[in-house]
Structure 1
Amino acid sequence: MGKVYRYRGADQANRWRKRAGRRMPSRRLSRPLLGLLFLGVGTLAAAVIQFVIQSTVGLPSTIRNWTEPQPGPLEGRASVIDGDTVEIAGQRIRFSGIDAPESRQYCSDAKGFDYPCGRRAAQALDEFLAASRPLQCSFVDRDRYSRLVGNCDRADGRSVQRWLVEQGFALDWPRYSNGAFAAEQVSAKAAHRGVWQGRFDQPWDWRAANADKIETVSEQSTGVGILGSGCNIKGNISVTSGERIYHLPGQEHYDETVISLGKGERWFCSEDQARAAGWRKARR
């Protein structure tokens, strides 16, 4: 009769099995395998931490905008929204690197009288664009309202942003321009053109102090009123008959209708308002 072995743990069992000619297989991992395992766990943990940090503080714009791909260059007839924003074929475009007075903003002229500098800038832009159509824009980013931000030129190649700053209808916005239009601003200031003829608040300061007078985020994202009200009914004047006709979103000629403030055309907030002002509804 052979010996009786009592198992008192894995190590002792292996010794006894070895004596009996059988060795229990070892469950220990080799050092190289352990190293690879720890490396993989560490890499995964670092990736998770980085994702959490980026989600907390905000992703860079290039990553954030992956879900909103930028379109290629856009060309077409532009409707003026305000002094630094236009619309082409239903697409809102904010000029890059400049800031014009807000639609409801007033400035003081050389004699100290207040005038609507925001609307004056929009009217000047409308006349400038009308002189050489179509407008051509290339895009660099999206702003926090998902509007496209771009550099725009007239059909004759003149930069819209440079002209606006040079004429004093907009300011170089160092926060976003890196001084790209600083030379034009120096020229406008020296010649007392536009807002430089008197006293004014920088548009970004005016917005901060008059948050209740500007449109809400949802209106900036979806509305298209020249006065910054979010109103989107286009009041057009027929070039053939002189008849005043308003177009509602979704009507046949809405997108192609361009509002020219200099010609007396305007935006409305409701059909009642348009009819009261003497406009009739487009037939289709």
Structure 2
Amino acid sequence: MRYQTRFARKRRFGWRRYLDLAVAVLAIAGVAFGVGRIEQLAGEDISGVMRVVDGDSLALGSRRLRLKGIDAPEIRQRCRRDGFEYGCGIESASYLRGLIGGQGVECKGEGLDRYGRDLVRCAAGGVDLNLAMVRAGQAVAFGDYQGAEAAARDEAAGLWAGEFETPKQWRVIHGGLSEELHAGFATVMALLRQLMSRW
């Protein structure tokens, strides 16, 4: 009786070992597939003639793209310079339109934000649009481009020539989309959102 119990236990442990091995292989394959999909989606190329929505957003047909790592004033946002109020949101959008100058825009996708917009880094005519917007003081750093923001502030360029609420502060006060900083855990979540949206 004792021999049979030991034999049954041994046989059960043998099956369990195979089951554990099969589960481990499936888990590793799943992780490898997921990482491959994330890398593929994160590097998606998006290009074409785009419409400027505001200082940090573009549209390609019905597809919305959000310039990653920057935050520009909202279209309705007003700022102060030389003692006068001006439409800094309109100025920022106009500056981005000027950078593009009717050329095709080439973007590299880096996930989706919580609103389903592609988070992108874009260039037009060899100009890095994300960097250029911050460097000109037409947007603030939002998880990236801190060096460009410091240079713009030192030169009192764009927004830094006067007084303004950061776009994030303005949205809290006046209403608008609440956005996560485009860095750290938010970047991982953006990639996961894009992965899940394609499954």
Shorter-chain TM-score above 0.5: yes
Encode CA deviations 1:168-209: one digit per residue, 9 max, x unaligned.
0001112xx2xxx12211121111111101111111222223
Equivalent residue runs for 1:63-102 within 5 Å: 72-102=44-74
Q: Which residue of 2 aligns with 1:103?
A: 75
Structure 1 unaligned segments of length 5 or more: list them: 1-10, 12-25, 47-61, 218-284
Equivalent residue runs for 1:130-279 within 5 Å: 130=101, 133-154=103-124, 156-174=125-143, 177=144, 181-211=145-175, 214=176
Q: Which residue of 2 aligns with 1:127?
A: 98
Encode CA deviations 1:199-223: one digit per residue, 9 max, x unaligned.
1111122222322xx3699xxxxxx
SS at match of 2:77: coil
Count of matched residue pairs:
168
Letter in 1 for 2:83: G
> Structure 2 length as normaliser, TM-score?
0.70
Verify the 8 A CA contact 1:151 1:161 in the aligned structure 2: yes
Verify the 8 A CA contact 2:57 2:65 in the aligned structure 1: yes
Structure 2 unaligned segments of length 5 or more: list them: 25-33, 180-199
Q: Which residue of 1 aligns with 2:9?
A: 31
SS at match of 1:149: strand
Greater helix proportion: 2
Encode CA deviations 1:83-115: one digit per residue, 9 max, x unaligned.
100012332111111111112211111x23222
More relative contact order in 1 or in 2 (CA 8 Å, sep 6+)?
Answer: 2
Partners of 2:104 and 2:23 in 1: CA distance: 53
Partners of 1:43 and 1:160 in 2: CA distance: 49
Could you tell me the percent identity over the aligned residues? 27
Given the superposition, is the C-alpha separation of residues 39 and 107 from structure 1 closer, same or farther in structure 2, using an over 3 Å criterion?
Answer: farther
Partners of 2:140 and 2:110 in 1: CA distance: 19
Query: Residue 42 of structure 1: CA displacement?
Result: 8.0
Verify the 8 A CA contact 2:171 2:178 in the aligned structure 1: no
SS at match of 2:127: coil
Deviates more, 1:27-36 or 1:144-153: 27-36
The structure having more radius of gyration, on CA atoms, is 1
Deviates more, 1:159-168 or 1:34-43: 34-43
Query: Residue 159 of structure 1: CA displacement?
Result: 0.3
